[in-house]
Structure 1
Amino acid sequence: MINDPFKIAYDLFPAKEIPFMESAKTIARRTRPYEGLKIVQNLPITTEALHKIHVLYLGGADITTTCPSFMDPKHEALSVLKAAGLRVSTFDDLPDDFDIVLDCAAELLGRVTPKMGAVELTGTGSNIYAETPNLNYPVISVDQSRVKVLEALFGTGDAFQRAFTTLTGEDLHGRDVLLFGYGKVGQGIAYALRPYGCRVTVVDTNPAALDIARRHGHKAIPSVDTVAVEQAAAASFVVVTATGRAGLVSKHYASEPFLKAAYLANMGAEDEFGADFAAEAVMVNKKPINFAIDHPTRIRFLDPIFHAHHMGIELLRNFDFTPGLHAFPDFMAEQIIAEWEVHFDINVEKALWADQTEVLGG
């Protein structure tokens, strides 16, 4: 039976959109797999996330939830957690006696030292954990697996397009877009802009990423070509950052050309524009713009990522990982993708080159 506090999540999202969470809830009710585990989860507190939290709750976990600094908790979701009697904490009020950290953007690093380890969702957080010296526990990176294609290439790109048009009321058709970063998120944004005929210029440090951008039909500029980057910024309708690197623009470029663009938009968890840009000069005060709308990422793209986040718990419990960052296992990622493809009748590789509306649905 569904607990009343979580009813809103079930009303908003049909079960067919969340096959992994629905299956996990059934198992959790029967087997209580997280009984006795103290888990702290740092995750955007949205109505979508309620399904993920409900799995942990039904599975017997002692859960504490925090919300990442780059967004405010959604009121409806926060009310559900409080009604269910679950702890919602600020970073400053966290104890340091958790078994497992389920993190986003590595914001619990240095605040909590888990007994078993951590599972990180994002590229930004994975980079931070990887660059942390003397990390004394294992961290599994969901981002470093192909399962993130579902969220980043499809979900986040779609979320950027919906957020930008919702917040600005502007028509994106035929616009010039300067895009920093051509990893999974950057590629997803470019993919989502394809139906609008946008002229996308990509800036990246990685020659391989620039080659991919060119093969996708975009202009590509090496990040070290300061003059070309600044000229492109001045000529752009919108400049979008998606590198996962804090302060990137201020560190390497003059601000004046960027301020000539009609809009500056950040899609990273960090402030990628940096100190040379006032908060009001960037959309949503430099926070990721997708989290400024009610449903940042469609739940069908989040569901498999949530599932992988939870699978990280079992990996940490059952295998002896050395301290440091570890990629989520390829074979597990491929299984998740295969199951998702069957459920939604979508071939991921073919969908990348198909009409976008076939992939995203209604």
Structure 2
Amino acid sequence: MPVSPARILEDLSSFYQEKEFPVLLHQYHTWAKRRPLEGCRVIDASPVFRNTCAKYAALLAAGADLTAAVSPVMPHDPETVALLDRYGIPVVDARQAEGPYDVVMDCAGALSHVPSRCGYVELTRSGAQHYARCTQPVWMVDAGKIKQIETCLGTGESFFRALETLGMKSGPGSMLVVIGCGKVGRGIVLHALSRGLNVIVADVEERPLPAPSVSFIHAQDGKTLNNAVKQAFCAVTATGRRHALSGMIDPAVARSSGVLLANMGVEDEWGPEIPKERMLNGGRPLNFILPDPTQMRYIDPPLALHNQGAVELAAGYAMPGIFPPPPEMEEAFLSLIRSRGSVPREMLDWIS
């Protein structure tokens, strides 16, 4: 039997201040009274790290019969997995998970094969392809504004925190090449500019850039891209596509230059031509070398929105097909963050 969710929050209090996770705490206190998931069988494939435990506390407070799932698609922290066992929360291999569950809370489509009575809540855009033909409700967290707090602000911060953890600091004026300028790439660019770096963005389509000082090159212009990578202190991929650079980067560039090669996508984006040992963290997302791959202040809102999706589906408030979180719900979350949270106000303005 799981320990009380209050015990989980007590353990987390040694690591996080309440202002770092205002939305999950609000869910915890509200749901402990309402119990909106009373008796619901829920399986959750969110990446298992220390700060994910606050998410589990809110679900348990809501009355969920909770199982956590780990998959080879997303990294996890073995120490936290062992902690869940002590908390009495079952952990299963996502590939072997069986249903049905009342609600399936997925990440990167790892649980898309598991039968669900009420529907699915998908945390990432990379999981959308797995639900393209789903005839049940699919609450897509990544389709809304809130997810940008993690993917843009949080992932950008954690990329540089991971570099610094490895002892790889970059001074002002150093050149960074960011390949892919979606939410994750844009966040890396914003944090790079705040550190005084020179930034080149490469993408398959020209998008509005975060600042006039950022240079743009077309990702399919192989000669220009390879020259930029050779001159950079670091080149990082954030395209969201597996092997996106396959055939585009000359392997000799990786062998002959001292540029750091990093990936911030779920899967290896550099391609099989670049040796894994040449890439930081073996080509896995660089921020997952950290105890908290995304700081609690940035991961709190999307994890809470993931939880909210489970409550909405269990209550039957959804139609079949993929749909985004309601805008009014996201605004309520943002209001909580502004009034009780620790995300700087100017950063919240970036995602607006």
Q: Name the TM-score, length of structure 1 as normaliser.
A: 0.88
Q: Are residue 159 (structure 1) and residue 154 (structure 2) matched?
A: no
Aligned residue number for residue 20 of structure 2 = 17
Aligned residue number for residue 333 of structure 2 = 336
The secondary structure found in structure 1 opposite 2:245 is: helix
Relative to structure 1, the CA distance from residue 350 to residue 119 in structure 2 (aligned partners, 3 Å threshold; closer, same or farther) is closer
Report the Cα offset of residue 70 of structure 1.
4.9
The secondary structure found in structure 1 opposite 2:42 is: strand
Distance 1:169 1:112 in 2: 42
Report the Cα offset of residue 261 of structure 1.
4.7
- Conservation of the 8 A alpha-carbon contact between 2:23 and 2:336: no
Aligned residue number for residue 48 of structure 1 = 51
The secondary structure found in structure 1 opposite 2:14 is: helix
Find 1:81's aligned residue among 81, 84, 92: 84
Report the Cα offset of residue 251 of structure 1.
4.5
Letter in 2 for 1:116: C
Relative to structure 1, the CA distance from residue 85 to residue 288 in structure 2 (aligned partners, 3 Å threshold; closer, same or farther) is same
Letter in 1 for 2:93: T
Letter in 1 for 2:222: T
Relative to structure 1, the CA distance from residue 348 to residue 315 in structure 2 (aligned partners, 3 Å threshold; closer, same or farther) is farther
Aligned residue number for residue 101 of structure 2 = 98
Q: Are residue 61 (structure 1) and residue 70 (structure 2) matched?
A: no
Relative to structure 1, the CA distance from residue 206 to residue 87 in structure 2 (aligned partners, 3 Å threshold; closer, same or farther) is same
* Per-residue CA distance 1:86-137 (angstroms, 9 max, x = gap): 111112331121122212222222x3132222112223223x236x4x3232
Distance 2:205 2:233 in 1: 24
- Conservation of the 8 A alpha-carbon contact between 1:239 and 1:258: no
The secondary structure found in structure 2 opposite 1:268 is: coil
Distance 1:251 1:328 in 2: 38
Find 1:321's aligned residue among 310, 319, 322: 319
- Conservation of the 8 A alpha-carbon contact between 2:45 and 2:107: yes
Equivalent residues in 2 for 1:227-246, closer than 5 Å: 227-246=223-242
Distance 2:117 2:147 in 1: 26
Distance 2:324 2:285 in 1: 25
- Conservation of the 8 A alpha-carbon contact between 2:8 and 2:53: no
- Conservation of the 8 A alpha-carbon contact between 1:124 and 1:268: no
Equivalent residues in 2 for 1:74-223, closer than 5 Å: 74-109=77-112, 111-126=113-128, 128-129=129-130, 132=132, 134-207=133-206, 209=207, 211-213=208-210, 215-223=211-219
Aligned residue number for residue 225 of structure 1 = 221
Relative to structure 1, the CA distance from residue 235 to residue 268 in structure 2 (aligned partners, 3 Å threshold; closer, same or farther) is same
Report the Cα offset of residue 6 of structure 1.
5.2
Distance 1:188 1:167 in 2: 20
The secondary structure found in structure 2 opposite 1:177 is: strand
Q: Are residue 254 (structure 1) and residue 250 (structure 2) matched?
A: yes
* Per-residue CA distance 1:274-308 (angstroms, 9 max, x = gap): 21122211111111110101121111111111111
Find 1:300's aligned residue among 277, 297, 302: 297
Unaligned runs of 5+ in 2: none
Report the Cα offset of residue 3 of structure 1.
4.3
- Conservation of the 8 A alpha-carbon contact between 1:70 and 1:288: no
- Conservation of the 8 A alpha-carbon contact between 2:5 and 2:57: no
- Conservation of the 8 A alpha-carbon contact between 2:137 and 2:319: yes
In proportion to residue count, which structure has more helix?
1
Q: Name the TM-score, length of structure 2 as normaliser.
A: 0.90
- Conservation of the 8 A alpha-carbon contact between 1:28 and 1:59: yes
Q: Which runs of 4+ in 1 moved over 4 A?
A: 348-351
Report the Cα offset of residue 161 of structure 1.
0.6
The secondary structure found in structure 2 opposite 1:250 is: coil
Relative to structure 1, the CA distance from residue 74 to residue 279 in structure 2 (aligned partners, 3 Å threshold; closer, same or farther) is same
Distance 1:149 1:6 in 2: 25
Letter in 2 for 1:233: V
Q: Are residue 266 (structure 1) and residue 235 (structure 2) matched?
A: no
Mean Cα displacement is larger for which, 266-275 or 70-79?
Answer: 70-79
Report the Cα offset of residue 246 of structure 1.
0.4
